[in-house]
Amino acid sequence: MSDSSLRLVWVYPDLLSTYGDQGNVLVVERRAQQRRVPVSRVDVRSDQAIPTSGDIYLIGGGEDRPQRLAAERLRRDGGLERAVANGAIVFSVCAGYQILGHEFVNDLGRPEPGLGLLDVVSVRGEGERCVGDVLADIDPQLGLPPLTGFENHQGVTHLGPSARPLARTRIGKGNGTGDGTEGAFNETVFGTYMHGPVMARNPQIADLLIKLALDVNALPPVDDQWYEALRAERIAAASQPA
Ligand code: GLN
Protein backbone atom coordinates (compact mmCIF):
# COMPACT_ATOMS: atom_id res chain seq x y z
CA MET A 1 0.00 0.00 0.00
CA SER A 2 1.57 3.24 -1.10
CA ASP A 3 -0.23 5.68 1.23
CA SER A 4 -2.19 5.35 4.44
CA SER A 5 -5.58 4.58 2.90
CA LEU A 6 -6.80 1.39 1.27
CA ARG A 7 -7.77 2.18 -2.29
CA LEU A 8 -10.56 0.08 -3.78
CA VAL A 9 -11.32 0.09 -7.50
CA TRP A 10 -14.65 -1.25 -8.75
CA VAL A 11 -14.02 -2.02 -12.41
CA TYR A 12 -16.64 -1.34 -15.12
CA PRO A 13 -19.91 -1.37 -13.14
CA ASP A 14 -21.64 -0.35 -16.39
CA LEU A 15 -20.65 -3.65 -18.06
CA LEU A 16 -19.79 -6.15 -15.36
CA SER A 17 -22.11 -6.34 -12.37
CA THR A 18 -24.62 -9.16 -12.43
CA TYR A 19 -26.40 -10.82 -9.50
CA GLY A 20 -25.43 -8.14 -7.02
CA ASP A 21 -21.67 -8.35 -7.61
CA GLN A 22 -21.40 -4.69 -6.65
CA GLY A 23 -22.02 -5.97 -3.12
CA ASN A 24 -18.44 -7.24 -3.16
CA VAL A 25 -16.95 -3.77 -3.20
CA LEU A 26 -19.48 -2.56 -0.61
CA VAL A 27 -18.56 -5.39 1.76
CA VAL A 28 -14.79 -4.88 1.39
CA GLU A 29 -15.27 -1.13 1.95
CA ARG A 30 -17.49 -1.66 5.00
CA ARG A 31 -15.23 -4.25 6.61
CA ALA A 32 -12.22 -1.97 6.23
CA GLN A 33 -14.20 0.91 7.79
CA GLN A 34 -15.26 -1.31 10.70
CA ARG A 35 -11.53 -1.84 11.41
CA ARG A 36 -10.95 1.92 11.20
CA VAL A 37 -8.80 1.44 8.13
CA PRO A 38 -9.08 4.60 5.99
CA VAL A 39 -10.59 3.47 2.73
CA SER A 40 -11.37 5.17 -0.57
CA ARG A 41 -13.33 3.72 -3.42
CA VAL A 42 -13.35 4.57 -7.12
CA ASP A 43 -15.97 3.19 -9.50
CA VAL A 44 -14.42 3.16 -12.99
CA ARG A 45 -16.83 3.08 -15.91
CA SER A 46 -15.72 1.44 -19.13
CA ASP A 47 -15.13 4.83 -20.85
CA GLN A 48 -12.67 5.81 -18.10
CA ALA A 49 -9.04 4.87 -17.55
CA ILE A 50 -8.25 2.23 -14.95
CA PRO A 51 -6.16 3.84 -12.21
CA THR A 52 -2.91 1.96 -11.66
CA SER A 53 -2.39 2.92 -8.01
CA GLY A 54 -5.27 0.97 -6.41
CA ASP A 55 -4.73 -1.67 -3.74
CA ILE A 56 -7.72 -3.95 -4.40
CA TYR A 57 -9.57 -4.22 -7.73
CA LEU A 58 -12.96 -5.91 -7.93
CA ILE A 59 -14.57 -7.12 -11.16
CA GLY A 60 -18.02 -8.69 -11.52
CA GLY A 61 -19.86 -10.97 -13.90
CA GLY A 62 -21.63 -10.01 -17.09
CA GLU A 63 -23.55 -11.20 -20.09
CA ASP A 64 -21.66 -12.34 -23.17
CA ARG A 65 -21.66 -9.09 -25.20
CA PRO A 66 -20.75 -6.74 -22.34
CA GLN A 67 -18.06 -9.27 -21.45
CA ARG A 68 -16.47 -8.92 -24.92
CA LEU A 69 -16.66 -5.10 -24.74
CA ALA A 70 -15.08 -5.14 -21.29
CA ALA A 71 -12.23 -7.37 -22.47
CA GLU A 72 -11.57 -5.11 -25.49
CA ARG A 73 -11.50 -1.97 -23.32
CA LEU A 74 -9.40 -3.51 -20.56
CA ARG A 75 -6.84 -4.77 -23.11
CA ARG A 76 -6.68 -1.36 -24.76
CA ASP A 77 -6.38 0.39 -21.40
CA GLY A 78 -3.62 -1.80 -19.94
CA GLY A 79 -4.06 -0.27 -16.47
CA LEU A 80 -5.10 -3.45 -14.72
CA GLU A 81 -1.98 -5.32 -15.86
CA ARG A 82 0.15 -2.38 -14.65
CA ALA A 83 -1.64 -2.37 -11.30
CA VAL A 84 -0.97 -6.10 -10.86
CA ALA A 85 2.67 -5.56 -11.80
CA ASN A 86 2.71 -2.95 -8.99
CA GLY A 87 1.45 -5.59 -6.53
CA ALA A 88 -2.29 -4.87 -6.56
CA ILE A 89 -4.82 -7.52 -5.59
CA VAL A 90 -7.64 -8.42 -7.99
CA PHE A 91 -10.80 -10.34 -7.17
CA SER A 92 -13.00 -11.30 -10.13
CA VAL A 93 -16.30 -13.06 -10.62
CA CYS A 94 -17.56 -15.14 -13.56
CA ALA A 95 -17.23 -13.03 -16.75
CA GLY A 96 -14.58 -10.98 -14.91
CA TYR A 97 -12.76 -14.21 -14.00
CA GLN A 98 -12.82 -15.38 -17.64
CA ILE A 99 -11.47 -12.01 -18.81
CA LEU A 100 -8.49 -12.27 -16.46
CA GLY A 101 -7.45 -15.56 -18.11
CA HIS A 102 -5.56 -16.00 -21.36
CA GLU A 103 -8.66 -16.45 -23.53
CA PHE A 104 -12.41 -17.10 -23.50
CA VAL A 105 -15.05 -17.69 -26.19
CA ASN A 106 -16.95 -14.50 -26.92
CA ASP A 107 -20.60 -13.85 -27.85
CA LEU A 108 -19.72 -14.33 -31.55
CA GLY A 109 -18.39 -17.82 -30.82
CA ARG A 110 -14.78 -16.72 -31.37
CA PRO A 111 -11.76 -16.91 -29.09
CA GLU A 112 -11.26 -13.56 -27.38
CA PRO A 113 -7.93 -12.73 -25.73
CA GLY A 114 -8.06 -12.01 -22.02
CA LEU A 115 -5.49 -10.18 -19.89
CA GLY A 116 -3.43 -13.25 -18.99
CA LEU A 117 -3.34 -12.31 -15.31
CA LEU A 118 -4.52 -15.78 -14.33
CA ASP A 119 -3.23 -18.97 -15.93
CA VAL A 120 -6.67 -20.14 -17.11
CA VAL A 121 -8.45 -20.58 -20.45
CA SER A 122 -12.23 -20.61 -20.77
CA VAL A 123 -14.23 -22.35 -23.46
CA ARG A 124 -17.95 -22.58 -24.07
CA GLY A 125 -19.41 -25.63 -22.31
CA GLU A 126 -21.18 -28.10 -24.57
CA GLY A 127 -23.54 -29.27 -21.84
CA GLU A 128 -26.26 -27.52 -19.87
CA ARG A 129 -25.57 -24.10 -18.42
CA CYS A 130 -24.18 -24.29 -14.88
CA VAL A 131 -26.90 -22.69 -12.76
CA GLY A 132 -27.57 -22.99 -9.04
CA ASP A 133 -26.17 -22.86 -5.55
CA VAL A 134 -22.53 -23.73 -4.91
CA LEU A 135 -20.95 -25.01 -1.71
CA ALA A 136 -17.20 -25.43 -1.91
CA ASP A 137 -14.22 -26.04 0.36
CA ILE A 138 -11.64 -23.32 -0.17
CA ASP A 139 -7.95 -24.17 -0.67
CA PRO A 140 -6.59 -25.09 2.79
CA GLN A 141 -3.67 -22.71 2.17
CA LEU A 142 -6.18 -19.84 2.50
CA GLY A 143 -7.64 -21.27 5.74
CA LEU A 144 -11.25 -20.07 5.39
CA PRO A 145 -14.60 -21.75 6.06
CA PRO A 146 -16.54 -23.36 3.17
CA LEU A 147 -17.71 -20.91 0.51
CA THR A 148 -21.29 -20.47 -0.58
CA GLY A 149 -22.39 -18.77 -3.78
CA PHE A 150 -24.67 -18.82 -6.79
CA GLU A 151 -23.43 -19.70 -10.26
CA ASN A 152 -24.89 -19.04 -13.72
CA HIS A 153 -22.51 -19.57 -16.63
CA GLN A 154 -21.99 -21.41 -19.88
CA GLY A 155 -18.22 -21.05 -19.81
CA VAL A 156 -15.95 -23.86 -18.67
CA THR A 157 -12.56 -22.86 -17.28
CA HIS A 158 -9.38 -24.94 -17.49
CA LEU A 159 -6.50 -24.16 -15.16
CA GLY A 160 -2.86 -24.07 -16.22
CA PRO A 161 0.06 -25.02 -13.97
CA SER A 162 0.50 -21.63 -12.33
CA ALA A 163 -3.10 -21.26 -11.18
CA ARG A 164 -4.40 -23.12 -8.12
CA PRO A 165 -8.09 -24.00 -7.78
CA LEU A 166 -9.68 -21.56 -5.35
CA ALA A 167 -11.95 -24.29 -3.96
CA ARG A 168 -13.33 -27.83 -4.42
CA THR A 169 -17.08 -28.10 -4.88
CA ARG A 170 -19.33 -30.15 -2.65
CA ILE A 171 -22.39 -28.79 -4.47
CA GLY A 172 -22.42 -27.10 -7.88
CA LYS A 173 -20.29 -27.11 -11.01
CA GLY A 174 -17.63 -24.44 -10.37
CA ASN A 175 -15.17 -24.40 -13.26
CA GLY A 176 -17.42 -26.85 -15.11
CA THR A 177 -14.54 -29.19 -15.95
CA GLY A 178 -16.00 -32.13 -14.01
CA ASP A 179 -12.95 -32.31 -11.73
CA GLY A 180 -14.64 -30.53 -8.82
CA THR A 181 -12.52 -27.40 -9.00
CA GLU A 182 -14.01 -23.92 -8.47
CA GLY A 183 -12.25 -20.71 -9.39
CA ALA A 184 -8.51 -20.08 -9.49
CA PHE A 185 -5.87 -17.94 -7.82
CA ASN A 186 -2.21 -17.07 -7.74
CA GLU A 187 -0.41 -14.81 -5.26
CA THR A 188 -2.53 -11.72 -5.86
CA VAL A 189 -5.20 -12.50 -8.48
CA PHE A 190 -8.39 -14.42 -7.64
CA GLY A 191 -11.26 -15.66 -9.78
CA THR A 192 -14.51 -17.42 -8.92
CA TYR A 193 -17.79 -18.33 -10.56
CA MET A 194 -19.65 -17.45 -7.36
CA HIS A 195 -22.10 -14.58 -7.25
CA GLY A 196 -24.33 -13.96 -4.28
CA PRO A 197 -22.60 -11.48 -3.86
CA VAL A 198 -19.81 -13.77 -2.77
CA MET A 199 -18.37 -11.32 -0.20
CA ALA A 200 -21.74 -10.97 1.57
CA ARG A 201 -22.00 -14.72 1.79
CA ASN A 202 -18.33 -15.17 2.69
CA PRO A 203 -17.03 -11.99 4.37
CA GLN A 204 -13.86 -13.92 5.24
CA ILE A 205 -12.79 -13.41 1.60
CA ALA A 206 -13.14 -9.64 1.99
CA ASP A 207 -10.99 -9.86 5.12
CA LEU A 208 -8.41 -11.98 3.29
CA LEU A 209 -8.06 -9.33 0.58
CA ILE A 210 -7.77 -6.54 3.16
CA LYS A 211 -5.08 -8.48 5.05
CA LEU A 212 -3.13 -9.10 1.85
CA ALA A 213 -3.37 -5.44 0.89
CA LEU A 214 -2.31 -4.20 4.35
CA ASP A 215 0.27 -6.99 4.69
CA VAL A 216 -1.01 -7.98 8.14
CA ASN A 217 -1.79 -11.45 9.51
CA ALA A 218 -4.96 -10.61 11.40
CA LEU A 219 -7.71 -7.99 11.66
CA PRO A 220 -9.74 -7.04 14.73
CA PRO A 221 -12.93 -9.13 14.92
CA VAL A 222 -16.22 -7.56 13.88
CA ASP A 223 -19.81 -8.62 14.45
CA ASP A 224 -20.52 -11.30 11.84
CA GLN A 225 -23.98 -12.27 13.07
CA TRP A 226 -25.80 -11.00 9.99
CA TYR A 227 -23.37 -12.70 7.62
CA GLU A 228 -23.47 -15.95 9.58
CA ALA A 229 -27.27 -16.02 9.42
CA LEU A 230 -27.14 -15.57 5.63
CA ARG A 231 -24.42 -18.23 5.31
CA ALA A 232 -26.38 -20.74 7.37
CA GLU A 233 -29.55 -20.11 5.37
CA ARG A 234 -27.80 -20.49 1.99
CA ILE A 235 -25.82 -23.58 3.05
CA ALA A 236 -29.05 -25.22 4.25
CA ALA A 237 -30.84 -24.27 1.02
CA ALA A 238 -27.98 -25.59 -1.14
CA SER A 239 -27.93 -28.85 0.81
CA GLN A 240 -31.64 -29.58 0.17
CA PRO A 241 -32.14 -32.53 -2.21
CA ALA A 242 -33.24 -31.18 -5.64
N1 GLN B 1 -21.00 -14.94 -20.14
C2 GLN B 1 -20.24 -15.83 -19.29
C3 GLN B 1 -20.72 -17.28 -19.30
O4 GLN B 1 -21.88 -17.55 -19.49
C5 GLN B 1 -20.24 -15.28 -17.89
C6 GLN B 1 -21.61 -15.24 -17.25
C7 GLN B 1 -21.63 -14.49 -15.94
O8 GLN B 1 -20.78 -13.63 -15.69
N9 GLN B 1 -22.65 -14.77 -15.14
O10 GLN B 1 -19.90 -18.16 -19.12
Q: Where are the domains of the chain?
A: 6-239
Q: Which of 93, 154, 173, 193 maximizes ligand 1 atoms within 8 Å of its Cβ, making it the mutation to test the pocket?
A: 154
Q: Which atom in ligand 1 lies closest to the alpha carbon of residue 155?
A: 10
pLDDT tens, residue by residue, 216-230: 999 999 999 999 999
pLDDT tens, residue by residue, 23-66: 999 999 999 999 999 999 999 999 999 999 999 999 999 999 99
pLDDT tens, residue by residue, 107-127: 999 999 999 999 999 999 999
Q: Which residue is closest in CA terms to ligand 1's atom 3?
A: 153
Taking the centre of ligand 1 as the mean of its atom positions, its distance from the CA of residue 190, in whole angstroms, is: 16
Give domain 6-239's CATH architecture: 3-Layer(aba) Sandwich (3.40)
Q: Is 195 in the active site?
A: yes
Taking the centre of ligand 1 as the mean of its atom positions, its distance from the CA of residue 165, in whole angstroms, is: 18
Amino acid at 6: L
- pLDDT reading at 3 higher than 60: no
- pLDDT reading at 1 higher than 70: no
d(CA 125, CA 128): 8
pLDDT on residue 70: 98
pTM, 2 dp: 0.96
Mean pLDDT for the chain?
Answer: 96
